[in-house]
Amino acid sequence: MNFRLLLVEDDRTLRTALCDAFSGEGYEVRAAADGHEARAILRSERFDLCVFDVMLPGPSGLELLRELRQRDADTPALLLTARGSEGDKVLGLELGADDYVTKPFSLRELLARCKAMLRRRARDERAAEQQFAIGESMVDLAAFTITKKDRAEALSPKEAAMLALLRREHGRAVSRARFLAEVWGGDQFVGDRTIDTHMLNLRAKVEADPKAPVHLLTVHGVGYRLVCDA
């Protein structure tokens, strides 16, 4: 996976060295030299990991972290702090930092900590793809079950694959041709009617009123789309 990383560091020499190190690990790095530049970037772009130096011209790393957490609770953030600044470390963790490294630091340690945070993020994202709510129903694709009002029903492998595809494209229409290609492997003996029958079965398991669906919606002439929160 090609992770995107934001590095905010005002020391030019250190910033260049860290950019080279992160790029060498295969990360796509976006660098900022001060808090104002970083704030503008954060408002328009998303990242898999943010590395903030605490002491910056303009908004500090702590201010940037606070603003990030107000709109994004999930993106991992690591703080670079000066040795002995215990207050910054504590405040940073309280504001939502996932980790911190004290200057001067070992490059190998910094890279190892960043890798660990990215592994946790990837693991959490995989789990979120496998377990998610559709209205009052809880889907567990790994267990092939859907639970509604404390009653669990089994999902067939095809039903689970259809839900997985709809989940990845949440809110967007998935065509019948794409269901045929990705769920049925292009089986020439499977047609639109098979897909529609499976969708009727899914609606019976998901919807409060399968005849008036609010989550598994028909896109006429195309296919279906998923709306988890109607």
Q: Domain residues of the chain, as ranges?
A: 4-127, 135-226
> With contact defined as beta carbons under 8 Å apart, do 25 and 50 qualify?
no
145 - beta bridge partners?
A: 140, 154
d(CA 163, CA 212): 19
Q: pLDDT averaged over the chain?
A: 92
Joined tokens for residue 81: 């702090």
Alpha helices in the chain (DSSP H): 12-24, 35-44, 61-71, 86-95, 107-130, 157-168, 176-182, 192-206
Mean pLDDT to the nearest integer, 27-40: 97
Mean pLDDT to the nearest integer, 5-19: 97
Joined tokens for residue 105: 């630091």
**Is the pLDDT assigned to residue 213 strictly greater than 90?**
yes
pLDDT at residue 230, rounded to an integer = 64
Secondary structure class of 120 (helix, strand, coil): helix
d(CA 206, CA 146): 8
CATH fold for the domain made of 4-127: Rossmann fold (3.40.50)
pLDDT by residue (tens digit) across 46-92? 999 999 999 999 999 999 999 999 998 889 999 999 876 778 888 88
pLDDT at residue 146, rounded to an integer = 94
Stronger pLDDT, 109 or 149, i.e. the higher one: 109
Q: pLDDT above 70 covers what percent of the chain? A: 98
Across the beta sheet with 99-103, what order do the strands follow?
Answer: 28-32, 4-8, 49-53, 77-82, 99-103
pLDDT at residue 128, rounded to an integer = 67
Whole-prediction pTM: 0.62
Architecture of the domain whose range is 135-226: Orthogonal Bundle (1.10)
pLDDT at residue 1, rounded to an integer = 61
Instruction: Decide: residue 101, CB within 10 A, 0-12 exposed, 13-18 middle, 19+ buried.
Output: middle
Instruction: With cut-offs at 50, 70 and 90, classify the pLDDT of residue 131.
Output: confident
Instruction: With cut-offs at 50, 70 and 90, classify the pLDDT of residue 203.
Output: very high
Of 40-54, 87-101, 215-229, the range with the lowest mean pLDDT is: 87-101
**Is the pLDDT assigned to residue 220 strictly greater than 90?**
yes
Query: What DSSP designation does 1 have?
Result: -
pLDDT at residue 184, rounded to an integer = 93
